[in-house]
Amino acid sequence: MFNDRIYNFSAGPSMLPLPVLEQAAAELTNYRGSGMSVMEMSHRSKIYLSIFEETKADLKRILNVPETHEVLFMQGGAWLQFAAVPMNLMGAAGKADYAVTGNFSKLAMKEAQKYGQVTIAASSEDRNHTYIPPQEALSVSPDASYFYYCANNTIYGTEWQYVPETNGVPLVCDMSSNIMSKPIDISKYGLIFAGVQKNMAPAGMAVVIIDKKLAGKEFPFTPTMLSYQKMIDTDSMHNTPPCYTIYMLGLVLKWIDSQGGLTAMEKLKKERAGILYSFLDESKLFKSCADKDARSDMNVTFRTGDDALDDKFAKEAAKAGFENLKGHRAVGGMRASIYNAMPVEGVIKLVEFMKKFEMENK
């Protein structure tokens, strides 16, 4: 499969399935006989709308989005959603709960403080975000506008293994780094958002899935483009959407279908992560960073305990064709991001390389 391509363990933007890239390349100057690139199509033309509608329908079907919810395509990445969420939802009660289990939930929490009273409902900061607080440790305010958490902590390599029970308080979740990796029960969520650049498409968009009854309560100073109600009313086309990114998402969704849907994605992610964690648990040199019961299947963090050796590893790995294994600058060590598009073979070869490195450096 790989030929001249490398194994790219980047946390995002990250690998896309090769057949998707090949199809995009083949259609780039002339989309299926239209005489145009998708990049050149008017977003209101019939031909583009058919791409848009099919992509949205595929997304709804694959994620099993119920009728109560709407799918939105918005710009600005997950970061702009850190503001959009409180600008739309905070007004209901003026306060919200945030579970802080990593860098991005902390940043989202700080952004929300601009718009209302924010309570830290749980935090894993005491042990450098190496674990996920259990349900009984969550302090859920029954009168909050919403309860917010980040399902997978890309930087720290932890992942929530359960869906928080909030007893009716709308649940808001940043799924940027694990959406599309397994089936989820959308009906449990008031709002899900995800930057697309990990498991869905090239960077430049966020997918928002919102329970329609939560929309329409934005602050008067909320920009029109950030109003969920306006986006629902205009089917994400209040202005020109990021058309090509949506097309790429469509190709990725077709690829997910071809692989067997989210059930297959879940099986594959368990296989990939299992290979890597099994090795880490046996290794005398490499140690997994996250608590066993909180480990992420998407981002595997590990270290040798020696910064210079970590550095040497990342550099030698890159030379051998395993790119972007250096950990995030906030935590150091190493991180292997193994999203949907990473073939199992890539993880097997990485482990082979790690074994070799361990032999040479003991």
The answer to whether residue 45 forms part of the interface with a copy of itself (CB under 8 A) is yes
The answer to whether residue 77 forms part of the interface with a copy of itself (CB under 8 A) is yes
Give the residue with the Cβ less far from a copy of itself, 36 or 138.
36
The answer to whether residue 85 forms part of the interface with a copy of itself (CB under 8 A) is no
Give the residue with the Cβ less far from a copy of itself, 132 or 243.
243
Q: Which residues contact 331 (CB under 8 A, 6 or more apart)?
A: 128, 155, 156, 289, 301
- Cα-based distances in Å from 209 to 27, 63, 65, 214, 228: 29, 10, 8, 11, 10
Site for a copy of itself in 309-328 (CB under 8 A): 321, 323-324
Give the residue with the Cβ less far from a copy of itself, 12 or 170.
12
- Residue 309 tokens, joined: 């050796």
Phi-psi region of 298 (alpha: psi -120 to 50; beta: other; left: phi over 0): alpha
Least Å from the CB of residue 32 to a copy of itself = 11
The answer to whether residue 174 forms part of the interface with a copy of itself (CB under 8 A) is no
Residue of the chain from 32, 42, 137, 356 that contacts a copy of itself (CB under 8 A): 42
Question: How far is 359 from 362, CA to CA, in rounded Å?
Answer: 6
Give the residue with the Cβ less far from a copy of itself, 82 or 228.
82
Question: How far is 250 from 66, CA to CA, in rounded Å?
Answer: 20
Q: Judging by beta carbons within 10 Å of its beta carbon (0-12, 13-18, 19+), is residue 311 exposed, middle or buried?
A: middle
Contact 192, 179 (CB under 8 A): yes
The answer to whether residue 29 forms part of the interface with a copy of itself (CB under 8 A) is yes
- Residue 83 tokens, joined: 């503001």
The answer to whether residue 34 forms part of the interface with a copy of itself (CB under 8 A) is yes
The footprint of a copy of itself on this chain (CB under 8 A) covers a number of residues equal to 69
Contact stretch for a copy of itself (CB under 8 A) within 81-89, 135-143, 165-173, 344-352: 81-89
- The residue with tokens 């009716």 is 168
Least Å from the CB of residue 328 to a copy of itself = 10
Q: Is the dihedral of CA 321, 291, 173, 90 positive or negative?
A: negative
Contact stretch for a copy of itself (CB under 8 A) within 40-48, 146-154, 179-187, 271-279: 40-48
Contact stretch for a copy of itself (CB under 8 A) within 111-119, 145-153, 260-268, 298-306: 111-119
- Residue 74 tokens, joined: 């918005």
Give the residue with the Cβ less far from a copy of itself, 152 or 324.
324
b/e 94-126 (16+ beta carbons within 10 angstroms → b)? ebbbbbbbbbbbbebbebbeebbebeebbbbee
Residue of the chain from 28, 57, 137, 330 that contacts a copy of itself (CB under 8 A): 28
Q: Is the dihedral of CA 134, 135, 138, 139 positive or negative?
A: negative
- Cα-based distances in Å from 89 to 35, 61, 217, 228: 44, 26, 6, 10
Q: Which of 148, 158, 154, 165 is nearest to 84 (CA)?
A: 148
Question: How far is 274 from 52, CA to CA, in rounded Å?
Answer: 36
Residue of the chain from 138, 203, 320, 344 that contacts a copy of itself (CB under 8 A): 203
Site for a copy of itself in 3-22 (CB under 8 A): 4-6, 8, 10-16, 18, 21-22
Residue of the chain from 64, 68, 224, 278 that contacts a copy of itself (CB under 8 A): 224
Least Å from the CB of residue 3 to a copy of itself = 9
* Footprint of a copy of itself (CB under 8 A): 4-6, 8, 10-16, 18, 21-22, 24-26, 28-30, 33-37, 39-43, 45, 75-80, 82-84, 87, 111, 114-115, 195, 197, 202-205, 219-221, 223-226, 238-245, 248, 321, 323-324
